[in-house]
């Protein structure tokens, strides 16, 4: 990995090279899986000196309450906290000391085991940047007019109702290592090279509604990085009613600019979690947990969606007047094709927790019903849902669907006309899909409208025999017998 040396201090946390499950596609370099227990992916981390971040992780298993996490000796600036639903996080507090360390996270449930290795480096690089310390501003909007381009902004303890970054360049916003910070909303307008790192954005003090996003980047902004942020309408939604979800849930991150990165964030209790409307953006290593709309939405070109974990769709409102069919990934176009999209190694799970309040019923996988889609790569994703649309492309040209596992949710909450499929259909106006590939997938069935529009090879067809096909289907062990 090439390290990018910024103008101030930061820690780099980098995944080691390891092995993963069997596949005809090139193998991953993140996780060793000794049995069937899966865990979300870690990306590379950056922590500025005297600031802090959280690195979230989540297990995928049938008995989350029995998953145990352990770790070797940690340096004193890294602490681990775990919860009874198979999740946890590392909190990294940087002090600027120079040291090196290695984290080995072990997730285990009986004989099922996963190991994730990370190298941790704390670097100190001096530069001309000025540190700006902001105090809480609970009532109005912080407009950043008195902050100079190139500054590093440290947020100190308190509640910040709204932060507006307008017409700025080369700014970094972080949380001071000893601070407890909560921000109601962040908007970025006409700005470039802005980094938001390790921030808590929570609208519980002033609910925004589902049409508002907690972090909103406008179309005149570019090269915005949002990393290791906790983004939520509320920290715990278990007592929310159907009406609470309709009125109180804000949406997560809205990227309307180009060349932006959304990496290593934890997004929970939102309507739509992440939306990208422009080109050359990357969305990777995020965890989305509890959403009542869509987990990821995209209408831009040349965008990458890699190693995200998406789970727990809430609110069964499909039949309501303003209801929504929930999608783990949805794209659409207003006329021009959506081109060169990569959707790779994501965990897409309709509902992981069987006791989840207000479960959604109509939860689709990876879908674009309003094509055309051109030159898409949908590769090595795990899609676990009840609805038939596991991967569905309507109007596809030169698209590749390779090495995915499309599986009926073992909890089988809702029955539909078919188990999840891979579908290549015509455009809604009747134009044919052409020159596509569907290879090396594990799926119940493959549905192709025009047989000569798709090259198929090496697929494993389950044909509703999930228990016979997998080693322990009901135990979420999706390896072949």
Of the chain, the percentage scoring pLDDT greater than 90 comes to 69
Q: How far out from the chain centre does Cα 230 lie?
A: 12
The pLDDT assigned to 36 comes to: 62
Contact 119, 30 (CB under 8 A): no
Structure-block tokens of residue 115? 């190991």
The C-alpha atoms of residue 308 and residue 74 are separated, in whole angstroms, by: 26
Hey, how many other C-beta atoms are within 10 angstroms of the C-beta on 26? 9
Mean pLDDT comparison of 206-210, 375-379, 447-451, highest-scoring range: 375-379
Predicted local confidence at residue 138, as pLDDT: 72
Q: Please say if the pLDDT value at position 7 is more than 50.
A: no
Structure confidence by residue, pLDDT tens digits, 249-296: 999 999 999 999 999 999 999 999 999 999 999 999 999 999 999 999
Q: Report whether pLDDT(49) > 90.
A: no
Residues 395/428, Cβ–Cβ less than 8 Å: yes
Check residue 293 and give its pLDDT.
94
Reported as a single tens digit per residue, the pLDDT across 56-112 is: 999 999 999 999 999 988 888 899 999 999 999 999 998 776 566 778 899 998 878
Burial 119-157 (b: 16+ CB within 10 A, else e): ebebbeeeeebeebebebbeeeebebeebeebbbbbbee
Tell me the pLDDT tens digit for each residue of 238-248: 999 999 999 99
The string of DSSP letters for 89-124 reads EEEEE--S--EEEEEEEEEEETTEEEEEEEEEEEE-
Report whether pLDDT(318) > 80.
no
What would the two tokens of residue 181 be? 């910070």
Q: Residue 27: which pLDDT band, with cuts at 50, 70 and 90?
A: very low
pLDDT range class, residue 45, cuts 50, 70, 90 = confident
pLDDT digits (tens, 9 = 90+) for 335-372: 899 999 999 999 999 999 999 999 999 999 999 998 89
Of 159, 174, 165, nearest to 204 by C-alpha is 159
What per-residue confidence (pLDDT) applies to 98?
54
Q: Which backbone phi and psi does 279 adopt, to 5 degrees?
A: -105, 160
What pLDDT is recorded for position 22?
A: 35
């Amino acid at each position: 990995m090439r390290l990018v040396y910024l103008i101030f201090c930061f820690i780099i946390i980098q995944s080691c090279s390891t092995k993963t499950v069997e596949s005809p596609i090139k193998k991953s370099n993140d996780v060793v899986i000794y049995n069937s227990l899966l865990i979300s992916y870690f990306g590379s981390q950056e922590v500025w000196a005297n600031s802090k971040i959280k690195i979230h992780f989540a297990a995928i298993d049938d008995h989350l309450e029995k998953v145990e996490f352990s770790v070797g000796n940690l340096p004193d600036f890294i602490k681990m906290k775990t919860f009874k639903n198979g999740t946890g996080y590392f909190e990294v507090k940087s002090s600027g000391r120079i040291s090196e360390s290695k984290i080995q996270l072990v997730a285990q449930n009986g004989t099922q085991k996963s190991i994730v290795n990370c190298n941790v480096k704390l670097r100190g690089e001096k530069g001309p940047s000025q540190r700006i310390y902001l105090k809480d501003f609970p009532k109005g909007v912080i407009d950043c007019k008195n902050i100079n381009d190139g500054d590093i902004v440290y947020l100190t303890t308190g509640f910040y109702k709204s932060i507006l970054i307008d017409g700025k360049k080369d700014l970094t916003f972080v949380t001071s290592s000893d601070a407890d910070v909560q921000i109601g909303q962040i908007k970025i307008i006409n700005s470039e090279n802005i980094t938001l790192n390790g921030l808590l954005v929570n609208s519980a003090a002033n609910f925004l509604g589902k049409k508002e996003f907690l972090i909103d980047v406008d179309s005149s902004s570019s090269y915005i990085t949002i990393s290791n942020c906790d983004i939520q309408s509320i920290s715990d939604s278990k007592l929310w009613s159907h009406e609470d979800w309709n009125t109180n849930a804000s949406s997560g991150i809205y990227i309307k600019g180009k060349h932006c990165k959304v990496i290593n964030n934890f997004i929970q209790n939102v309507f739509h979690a992440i939306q990208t409307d422009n080109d050359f953006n990357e969305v990777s290593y995020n965890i989305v947990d509890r959403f009542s709309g869509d987990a990821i939405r995209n209408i831009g070109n040349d965008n990458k969606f890699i190693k995200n974990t998406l789970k727990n769709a809430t609110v069964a409102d499909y039949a309501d007047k303003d209801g929504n069919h929930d999608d783990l990934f949805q794209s659409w176009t207003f006329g021009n094709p959506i081109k060169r999209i990569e959707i790779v190694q994501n965990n897409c799970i309709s509902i992981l927790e069987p006791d989840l309040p207000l479960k959604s019923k109509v939860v689709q996988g990876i879908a674009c019903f309003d094509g055309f889609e051109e030159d898409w790569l949908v590769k090595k994703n795990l899609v676990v849902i009840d609805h038939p649309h596991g991967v569905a492309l309507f109007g596809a040209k030169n698209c590749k669907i390779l090495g995915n596992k499309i599986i009926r949710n073992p909890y089988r909450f809702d029955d539909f006309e078919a188990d999840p499929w891979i579908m290549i259909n015509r455009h809604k106006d009747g134009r044919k899909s052409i020159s596509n590939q569907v290879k090396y997938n594990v799926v119940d069935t493959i549905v192709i409208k025009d047989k000569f529009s798709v090259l198929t090879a090496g697929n494993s067809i389950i044909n509703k025999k999930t228990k016979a096909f997998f080693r322990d289907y009901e135990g979420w062990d999706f390896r072949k017998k």
